[in-house]
Amino acid sequence: MQLKKNWNYIWRNKRRKQGIKQFLFLMPSLGGVACFVLLPFGKMTVSSFFIVLTGEFAGLKNYMAVFQNDAFEIAAANTVRFLAAGVLPLLLLSLGLALLINGDSKRGKYRYLYLLPLAMPAAAMVLIWKLAFSGQGFLNRFLGTHTDFLGEESAFFILVGSYLWKNLGYTMILWLAGLKSIPEAMLEAARMDGAGRVKRFWLITMPCLKGSMFTITVVSLINSFKVFREVYLVGGAYPPKSIYMLQNVFNNWYLYLEQDKLSAASVLSVIVLGAVSLLLQRLWDWE
């Protein structure tokens, strides 16, 4: 009995020391997140319920002002539209390319080239846009027209195409990492049992990619918000209506010191993105 008590004491003491080491290891990262993310977000959340200039409690007035703002409605609609038109095709196209390249040594030999679009600066990409799609650009010279495609509804599709081109290779590499983690013996066993390529894909490959799929989807959503750089370089603070995004609204409110609405809109955005992430997590965990 005494030996058992001593063993339990030693085990608890060891677990306690391991917990302290783990906490000390994580403390720099946790401190950085707390100082630069959690505390500012907490202050912003409190500010969203006050009129910043006077310090008067406003309740939900700032949130109502956001919902009644025409610019916010246009930007929110464009952002949702961009997510639907960009993220889903990106996931499908990159997965298709990953399946095509996986297991083919010749096609996979130069996979590092697929990451080159990420190395291209946003300013260089926008310069190419202007050379190709402006009123005097290459496309107009080819068509014999003088249409400014960057100032029309077509600007939205140019932006989606740019997002796909820039992130396709990177997302494909993430899919390839997931495909490489699937045991080859499992696929070979299914092949020996007579399962065709399509059946193996749906019954083995996709379930094994479940964890990778969630990570890739979240990363793609985050990257979709980075298109603000290209939008701003094309149209400045007030780009064409078709590519006027939420980041443009936030940037303009910041410039005009409308911190009340900016704080409320930021809180709403975090709530929506958090809800989407939780929904995706529940969908992935659902059996």
DSSP category for residue 150:
G
- Model pLDDT for residues 127-177, shown as the tens digit of each residue: 888 888 888 888 888 888 888 888 778 889 988 988 998 898 889 888 888
Question: Which token pair is 27?
Answer: 């403390």
pLDDT higher than threshold 50 for residue 113: yes
Question: Which token pair is 74?
Answer: 């246009």
pLDDT of residue 48: 86
Q: Which amino acid is at 159?
A: L
- Model pLDDT for residues 27-67, shown as the tens digit of each residue: 888 888 788 888 888 888 888 888 877 778 888 888 998 88
Phi and psi at 117, nearest 5°, equal -55, -30
* Interatomic CA distance for residues 169 and 163, integer angstroms: 11
Strand partners, 276: none
pLDDT of residue 5: 52
Supply the pTM of this predicted model.
0.80
* Interatomic CA distance for residues 249 and 269, integer angstroms: 12
